[in-house]
């Protein structure tokens, strides 16, 4: 096998994790669906979207995150994670929320903040324990409740708030690359910068997104 074909396979897997992942078996998949349906209306909406759109869930190595969405509109989780755990369920909700967005929206701070806020909003009903707000003691992202509360009070429509959200997200999840994302979906961000006469900033926003690691 040539070097080119080996690299090509790795690139293909990077773009389409489904090429080499461990898909959830029916029993685990059904358990995820049941837990989401039984939580609250918002979680049930996510469960119905997963069912209606036939969203697949599978294990694949993650990079600086606990889960992810794919170009084929599926969801990946960290190998070994229990999909019925409140933390993992909250990731599934987060990533499914992204699947309902356009690709450009997913790859922006605006899209991220909305997904984080939805994740926070739905977490208590999923966890179903005392003091179960996300970030509180013994819950997902333990010790970061204050930062989650900050995110909840930021507006996805405010450029200033979205800039603030970058650092807050990195406080919650160390190494999270919010700094790579444009404030608004890239076409909108590019247009904003050009109108402001900030051509270099427009190009830099595109480069940051394209080269983020």
Considering the domain boundaries, does residue 154 fall inside one? Answer: no
- Phi, psi angles (nearest 5°) of residue 69: -110, 160
The top-scoring range by mean pLDDT among 40-54, 89-103, 188-202 is: 89-103
**CA neighbours within 13 Å on the CB side: how many for 16?**
6
8 has pLDDT over 50: no
Considering the domain boundaries, does residue 158 fall inside one? Answer: no
- Phi, psi angles (nearest 5°) of residue 76: -115, 145
Considering the domain boundaries, does residue 15 fall inside one? Answer: yes
Cβ pair 84, 43 in contact under 8 A? no
**Strand-strand pairing, 75-77 and 57-59:** parallel
| Domain count along the chain | 1
3 has pLDDT over 60: no
Cβ pair 109, 162 in contact under 8 A? yes
How many Å apart are CA 37 and CA 31, to the nearest integer? Answer: 10
pTM of the model: 0.89
Considering the domain boundaries, does residue 182 fall inside one? Answer: no
202 has pLDDT over 90: no
- Phi, psi angles (nearest 5°) of residue 67: -160, 175
- Phi, psi angles (nearest 5°) of residue 30: -65, -35
**What local confidence, expressed as pLDDT, does residue 14 receive?**
61
**What local confidence, expressed as pLDDT, does residue 10 receive?**
43
Cβ pair 33, 8 in contact under 8 A? no
- The predicted-structure confidence for 156-169, as pLDDT tens digits, reads as follows 999 999 999 999 99
**Structural domain of residue 52, as residue ranges?**
1-82
User: Any bridge partners for residue 57, and if so which?
Assistant: 75
Considering the domain boundaries, does residue 166 fall inside one? Answer: no
Cβ pair 17, 70 in contact under 8 A? yes
- The predicted-structure confidence for 12-51, as pLDDT tens digits, reads as follows 456 789 988 999 999 999 999 999 988 888 888 999 999 9
Considering the domain boundaries, does residue 62 fall inside one? Answer: yes
Which regions of 79-153 does DSSP assign to beta strands (E)?
none
Considering the domain boundaries, does residue 127 fall inside one? Answer: no
**CA neighbours within 13 Å on the CB side: how many for 202?**
13
Considering the domain boundaries, does residue 147 fall inside one? Answer: no
């Amino acid at each position: 096998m040539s070097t080119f074909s080996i690299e090509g396979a790795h690139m293909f897997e990077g773009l389409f994790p489904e090429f080499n992942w461990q898909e959830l078996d029916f029993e685990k998949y059904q358990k995820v669906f049941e837990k989401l349906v039984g939580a609250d209306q918002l979680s049930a909406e996510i469960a119905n979207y997963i069912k209606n759109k036939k969203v697949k869930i599978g294990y694949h190595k993650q990079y600086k995150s606990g889960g992810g969405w794919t170009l084929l509109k599926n969801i990946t989780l960290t190998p070994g994670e229990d999909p019925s755990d409140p933390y993992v369920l909250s990731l599934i909700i987060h990533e499914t929320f992204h699947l309902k967005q356009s690709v450009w929206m997913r790859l922006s701070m605006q899209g991220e903040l909305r997904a984080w806020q939805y994740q926070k909003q739905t977490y208590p009903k999923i966890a179903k324990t005392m003091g179960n707000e996300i970030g509180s003691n013994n819950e997902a992202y333990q010790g970061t409740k204050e930062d989650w509360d900050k995110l909840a009070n930021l507006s996805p429509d405010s450029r200033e708030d979205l800039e603030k959200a970058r650092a807050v997200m990195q406080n919650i999840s160390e190494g999270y690359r919010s700094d790579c994302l444009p404030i608004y979906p890239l076409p909108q961000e590019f247009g904003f910068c050009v109108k402001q006469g900030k051509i270099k900033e427009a190009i830099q926003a595109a480069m940051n997104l394209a080269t983020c690691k």
